[in-house]
């Protein structure tokens, strides 16, 4: 048996590790079905409300070859179209709840279940009111623009920053997912939020499944969700990121 790492539930949510197990299993199946063998997901040996036992990963620095594996594997997984947007149960994004449902409209799901939900959690009344006003005026047009620029639902890792990808000597591993089905470029956007995964990753991804012409605009709109979440969790250091994201959301909505 491989070495086992036991993760403890340090959140206030009893089902957090149950949802994490579901996310890991969903990613593993999706990668297998897409014919991806170079990107791995830890095996779950046991799960409860308090503990999650998974494969222990002897991690080190990323290498050019393993970053390319990650880009190619992620692109293959994203190319597989799913039936609907959303997910069948609520789960978590980091330390925050992530509400889910099934939807035929990506734009409506993203505006309501991602952006509006995070805005509803803002504790500063003036900030919440300002962001609510933008969504009330631009949300419908933004949703339409997102629908226009999304090809199909893809399974997303959902929290794909560098801390949630580990590298052993041979391959990359995906950990700590916040899975749902959405625009694949939402995953790519988050890879750039905290520094990016390097040119090799993006060129490998683009060889398999090129990013859309609207990617740079969508990147700011999609990272708005994560900036709002970080603002709600960690405070004012993320407020400027929220403002940049809303400025882009207004711009694309007004030109839609």
Residues with a catalytic annotation lie at 159
Give the Cα separation of 137 and 81 in Å (integer). Answer: 31
* Closest by Cα among 101, 140, 96 to 119: 96
Q: How many Cβ atoms from other residues are within 10 Å of residue 79's Cβ?
A: 14
Q: How many Cβ atoms from other residues are within 10 Å of residue 244's Cβ?
A: 14
Give the Cα separation of 253 and 139 in Å (integer). Answer: 8
Ordered strands of the 85-86 beta sheet: 102-103, 85-86, 180-182, 154-156
Q: Which residues of 180-197 are buried (b: 16+ CB within 10 A; e: fewer)?
A: bbbbbbbbbbbbbbeeeb
Token pair recorded at residue 98? 């992530």
Give the Cα separation of 115 and 224 in Å (integer). Answer: 8
């Amino acid at each position: 048996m491989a070495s086992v790492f036991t993760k403890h539930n340090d959140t206030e949510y009893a089902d957090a590790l149950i949802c994490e197990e579901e996310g890991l299993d969903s990613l593993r199946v999706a990668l297998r079905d897409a014919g991806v063998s170079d990107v791995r997901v830890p095996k779950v040996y046991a799960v409860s409300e308090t503990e999650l036992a998974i494969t222990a990963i002897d991690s080190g620095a990323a290498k050019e070859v393993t970053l390319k594996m990650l880009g190619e594997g992620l692109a293959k997984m994203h190319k597989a179209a799913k039936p609907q947007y959303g997910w069948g149960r609520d789960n978590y994004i980091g330390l925050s709840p992530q509400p889910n449902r099934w939807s035929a409209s990506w734009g409506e799901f993203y505006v309501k279940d991602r952006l509006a939900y995070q805005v509803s959690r803002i504790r500063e009344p003036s900030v919440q009111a300002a962001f609510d006003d933008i969504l009330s005026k631009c949300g419908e047009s933004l949703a339409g623009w997102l629908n226009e620029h999304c090809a199909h639902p893809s399974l997303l890792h959902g929290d794909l920053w560098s801390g949630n990808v580990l590298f052993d000597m041979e391959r990359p591993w995906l950990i700590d997912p916040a899975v749902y089905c959405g625009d694949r470029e939402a995953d790519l956007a988050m890879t750039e939020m905290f520094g990016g995964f390097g040119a090799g990753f993006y060129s490998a991804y683009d060889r398999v499944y090129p990013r859309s012409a609207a990617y740079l605009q969508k990147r700011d709109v999609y990272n708005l969700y994560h900036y709002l979440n970080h603002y709600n969790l960690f405070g004012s250091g993320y407020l400027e990121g929220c403002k940049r994201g809303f400025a882009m959301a207004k711009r694309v909505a007004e030109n839609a």
